[in-house]
Structure 1
């Protein structure tokens, strides 16, 4: 933690400044420890800032929206924010090296799913999962959502929200855990009022720190990670507040695991050598490192009882380093593993921007209405410095020396810049909710983006690779939704939404587009003991780049892809002691127009095929039972259907079901002890299929003991 002294000094300086955080409505100070936990469940009365800027609850929003709040994260034992995302309907997230945070949702993957941090859309590579301790909740909205999040978001959006200072005199919490493979976590959180009681200006500070270590279930894979979040909240006047928030993440992983090779013949269901499934074929000095620093300044001002504004100014700085031997394949008779692709790369990225929004409640033609309007400006700059050599060699899987990176032929030390991509975005947006009657409401919105791309080539300038390349796009996206609250406890809705996606590569194409029709319902049942949401949708994405069938070296903007599906989520208090929570998602995704260049050089149509790593069904189930006032137990299950590993749909990764259980003892009003078993049946399963082809194996059966306390 070479940066900790600097951070400590910075935090010391910040603590004496009159800065802070606020919400749009300033809440009274809470004296003492934490407030009682709310009843677990879908909590449709809570709001989500990523689904709408109008302050609507999940129930009022005519869209499929789900939230895993802090209580859900702790009850389900989510270790990272990606684990929390996997508890939401239809999400299948994994973290294979080189892919950052991979998400499959509603038939789409990668850049078609926007991943945001605190409502800010950043580069996908930053979504590599880190410890969930510093996060307050994870939010999900289904389908095209460019109105809120900007370009992208064809399949949906995830938002990871960090803990911030609260208006409380004093609160403290801590967590210590130890588990299989020497996995440890040490975490604490402090919230404290800095100003004397009764002072005209009130200041509150919060600090959360988490340290994680693990030897990993794959040989020679060791991980050490720190996460830190600090925020300072100031209520400067009864109507004006400010937040200064700092986040720091540092992760180091030795000999990262890059997958398990698939045995020959490679056809149908992919098979691995289970005897050698924990082998790590990376070099001994393989490396992954990431350091990320966030700084945000948030102003909330209540201009009048009906009008308020929020402004968020931010800066992000990130650096990621890779040094690995990344590709492994069995030879023809499966007696040896051929290793290749020595890759040394540094990713450096910064993003600075400002988000401004104004909310106003009024009446229009005698009807209640709420408006939200604003603008966004951001500059995202990323520089890659890659070095890639074949470095082919062969090893005996039963007895091999991993070797060292710089001992491989063709490798060299040092970073050589390749390209810098700078994307400047200016956006204007407006959103409105109109109450047509006591039961019927109309939600509408439009967004205009002006996107400028400037690519700087740091290597040899040629006719096909100039020093500078500039492109511009101006997409307009929107949403229209109608909600009918036909009962106080039940509604139905219909929604139409659109998205735009910036093209990749040097071609001067227009943006690809997406559109969705969705119908759904949100309701309580059995006298309020149960709550459920149901959604059915159809999404169409078109005009993305595919290979030209007449010229494999060229691309055409004619790609098409569709998905249709159903999502269901429910929470039911079966008895006063037994709680059941579940969600299920089914999707049918296929390419309408898609061409691929194969190894022979020919171009093959994949029309009608399913995209890779898209499961048709994903389901979760949790049962929690209160054995006694101080004892609680529970079981959980997660099912993920098989996925295709290639666009030809000839290779499949098998379906899997994972089971877990926990037992919790409440020592006193402050402290609990939890024992947890994950993957009870020790299932061998693949979370992600590499195109090598290779498995990315999930975690085997593990045990964990955790002590958590709050004051």
Structure 2
């Protein structure tokens, strides 16, 4: 453990002045800004606020033996984050791994990446990706807050959460007073944004919330136009003091940039093609999602709480693009290792692909919580519940069409049109049933010690039918039925020497699918899920009378049962293993004179411990899409009652795009800034600056020599109103 011990010592040295500040610093009140329209004031101390993401018992993060980060919606909007993924990747240990193939929403956490290892939820309900793709929710205007649980979350939410879980909580009605707010903005790349929302009480028992948002941009590459709109509505009815019924509907329609990345030239990013888009002019990417939910919360007594949420989510995702581009070297061979050939010095365009995901998922999740006093100073909280889901997917594609291949001049070319000789049609469908029961318990032993444990049993059944289209009529053939059974558990302990400091340790198990649960194929039917476990220790503290918080965690995760093939002719076996160990730290401070600091960082060592493909061993290599160092820093200054300035720095360490670590993606550092000024108590102007030093950087990769680049330097200006 020398790796962890050395970095624990370093992190402790960094954070020790913060803990010492509890003793030495003096409290200075913040300026009175209650009547001024400045969003993103520092949120209340999140460590002592009950949170249902890290524990179904509603424990506070200080009472939870795990790493739980909270980003409130006001802060997201004040920073100018343009998507939920942008905001989430500012949390400790989280990085963006999104590209068009996964809906632009994949994340990496604690050495594991993708929708199959970092689970995504909305209002506590898991989303089931189709072929690794999730596209909802996206617009931060609708977000109340984002909770990020680092490490295995399978005990709470099921398979696919070995690296962590991200829970997006949507805005809810205010039962006390009516709020109306809106904003309109314009900026670089002809970007435009219009959003509005209103909510409040209708009667003493009935309240509402409605929001709408529209965004468009010409993008930062040729033919990089994007459009999106989102609407949501919520009704909250409390017929009695103990019963609350909440009905909600959310809709999103996205047309993101039809941009699949920029090819490297001679292994490097060439500034001359920074704005080139090698897709055809008629490329298509569109995501439509609609979620309807009904939640009932009943509290018959202080000791008992009953909760149930039923939902329906429809998702239709469409792609038709020319997706892969590579530079052709002097020998006439593609530099990305594909073996394709073309004209030296040109860009070869291949992989014309059309796909449609038509998916509907229904679900119901219920639980009952009991809170019991056993003896003086000894109490027990227990929650038991169930989770059922049905997912229907029809997968359409045009695989098998005559390949569309062309090489073009890297700098000037006719993008052309898609040539599809087969057409997109349904090729298979699946039906996935999930049944799960879970329980979680907390035993509180006096004022200092508590023990928290949980268990979940889950059964998944997947059925698949192939669909053939001879003569244009569909014929279905049953292909497979597969059942998966998973039992996961966790146990941890929290020691609080004083009420504002906690020390904790936890052991947790988790389960990851080998691919995507809803697209199980005949090649996977003989295998079970991959399994893993984690050991985590950490410390959390609240100081400066609640104006400062700090967290520190060290962990080791091991994932087993990876698919491996010892020789080119040997069968595929589940014998591989990979692991990650690391440290995460975060600190937040409200200082005198309106100054505030939010900072976090992580260092990890992610490796293949035992992994072979054909006759190539990858032992000791870093898995793809995993940066081993991450850091975020935000400085804020309330200069006057009406003027607020923010500056943010994001650092993402180097990554690899392949198992062999032959293709390296360099690290990058980005600086953003925001200036907000309240012209009147109800009207404010915001200036958001992005990538101020105009760095070229890769958000992610689409192929080994194809980088999905981030937004260059940009400035957006917006007007906000609120009353």
Moved more, 624-633 or 471-480: 624-633
Partner of 1:448: 457
The answer to which structure, 1 or 2, has the higher relative contact order (CA under 8 A, 6+ apart) is 2
The answer to whether the 8 Å contact 2:36/2:678 transfers is: no
Partner of 2:312: 315
Partner of 1:21: none
Partner of 1:580: 597
Partner of 1:426: 435
The answer to whether the 8 Å contact 2:135/2:287 transfers is: no
Map residues 241-256 of structure 1 onto 2, 5 A cutoff: 241-253=244-256, 256=258
Q: Distance in 1 between matches of 2:241 and 2:547?
A: 39
Q: Distance in 2 between matches of 1:160 and 1:596?
A: 37
Partner of 1:87: 90
Please list the CA deviations of residues 243-275 of structure 1 after superposition, one character each: whole Å capped at 9, or x if unmatched.
110000011246x001101122x4xxxx12211
The alpha carbon displacement at 1:345 in A equals 1.1
Summarize the Cα distance change of 1:387–1:547 in structure 2 as closer, same or farther, 3 Å threshold.
farther
The alpha carbon displacement at 1:548 in A equals 4.4
Q: Distance in 1 between matches of 2:699 and 2:36?
A: 40
The alpha carbon displacement at 1:74 in A equals 2.1
Aligned pair partner of 1:341 in 351, 365, 379: 351
Matched, 1:512 2:514: no
The alpha carbon displacement at 1:574 in A equals 3.2
Aligned pair partner of 1:142 in 142, 147, 150: 150
Partner of 1:221: 224
Partner of 1:131: 139
Q: Distance in 1 between matches of 2:38 and 2:678?
A: 17
Structure 1 segments (4+ residues) deviating >6 Å: 32-38
Aligned pair partner of 1:118 in 104, 117, 123: 123
Matched, 1:660 2:672: yes
The alpha carbon displacement at 1:669 in A equals 2.5
Please list the CA deviations of residues 636-656 of structure 1 after superposition, one character each: whole Å capped at 9, or x if unmatched.
111001101211011111110
Matched, 1:70 2:73: yes
Matched, 1:632 2:644: yes
Partner of 2:572: 555
Please list the CA deviations of residues 351-391 of structure 1 after superposition, one character each: whole Å capped at 9, or x if unmatched.
00100011110024662111111111101122211113421
Partner of 2:404: 391
The alpha carbon displacement at 1:35 in A equals 13
The alpha carbon displacement at 1:307 in A equals 0.4
Map residues 485-500 of structure 1 onto 2, 5 A cutoff: 485-500=496-511
Q: Distance in 1 between matches of 2:255 and 2:394?
A: 21
Please list the CA deviations of residues 484-537 of structure 1 after superposition, one character each: whole Å capped at 9, or x if unmatched.
001222110001111122344433222221100000000134565421000000
Partner of 1:438: 447
Please list the CA deviations of residues 643-683 of structure 1 after superposition, one character each: whole Å capped at 9, or x if unmatched.
01211011111110001112111123222211111101000
Summarize the Cα distance change of 1:667–1:34 in structure 2 as closer, same or farther, 3 Å threshold.
closer
The answer to whether the 8 Å contact 1:115/1:127 transfers is: no
Partner of 2:655: 643
Aligned pair partner of 2:551 in 533, 538, 551: 533
The answer to whether the 8 Å contact 1:95/1:129 transfers is: no
Partner of 1:615: 627
The alpha carbon displacement at 1:422 in A equals 1.9
The answer to whether the 8 Å contact 1:113/1:155 transfers is: yes
The alpha carbon displacement at 1:460 in A equals 8.6
The alpha carbon displacement at 1:689 in A equals 2.1
The alpha carbon displacement at 1:604 in A equals 1.0
Aligned-pair RMSD on alpha carbons? Answer: 2.1
Partner of 2:56: 53
Please list the CA deviations of residues 52-107 of structure 1 after superposition, one character each: whole Å capped at 9, or x if unmatched.
11011111111000011122212222211111101210111143111221211100
Summarize the Cα distance change of 1:616–1:48 in structure 2 as closer, same or farther, 3 Å threshold.
same
Please list the CA deviations of residues 582-626 of structure 1 after superposition, one character each: whole Å capped at 9, or x if unmatched.
0001111011122235xxxxx311111101111010100011112
SS of equivalent to 2:379: strand
Map residues 289-300 of structure 1 onto 2, 5 A cutoff: 289-300=286-297
Partner of 1:206: 209
Partner of 1:3: none
TM-score after normalising by structure 2:
0.88
| Structure 2 alignment gaps of length 5 or more | 1-34, 331-343, 471-475, 516-520
Q: Distance in 2 between matches of 1:355 and 1:34?
A: 39
Partner of 1:103: 107
How many correspondences in the alignment? 656
Q: Distance in 2 between matches of 1:675 and 1:312?
A: 40
Q: Distance in 1 between matches of 2:170 and 2:108?
A: 23
Partner of 2:265: 263
Summarize the Cα distance change of 1:371–1:34 in structure 2 as closer, same or farther, 3 Å threshold.
farther
Map residues 22-61 of structure 1 onto 2, 5 A cutoff: 39-40=42-43, 43-61=46-64
Aligned pair partner of 1:179 in 182, 187, 192: 187
The alpha carbon displacement at 1:466 in A equals 6.6
Map residues 182-201 of structure 1 onto 2, 5 A cutoff: 182-195=190-203, 197=204
SS of equivalent to 2:86: helix
The answer to whether the 8 Å contact 1:164/1:230 transfers is: no
Matched, 1:151 2:159: yes
SS of equivalent to 1:467: strand
Aligned pair partner of 2:284 in 277, 283, 287: 287
| Structure 1 alignment gaps of length 5 or more | 1-31, 598-602
The answer to whether the 8 Å contact 2:482/2:525 transfers is: no
Q: Distance in 2 between matches of 1:379 and 1:262?
A: 43
The alpha carbon displacement at 1:573 in A equals 2.3
Aligned pair partner of 2:483 in 472, 491, 494: 472
Summarize the Cα distance change of 1:89–1:224 in structure 2 as closer, same or farther, 3 Å threshold.
same
SS of equivalent to 1:59: helix
Q: Distance in 2 between matches of 1:181 and 1:191?
A: 33
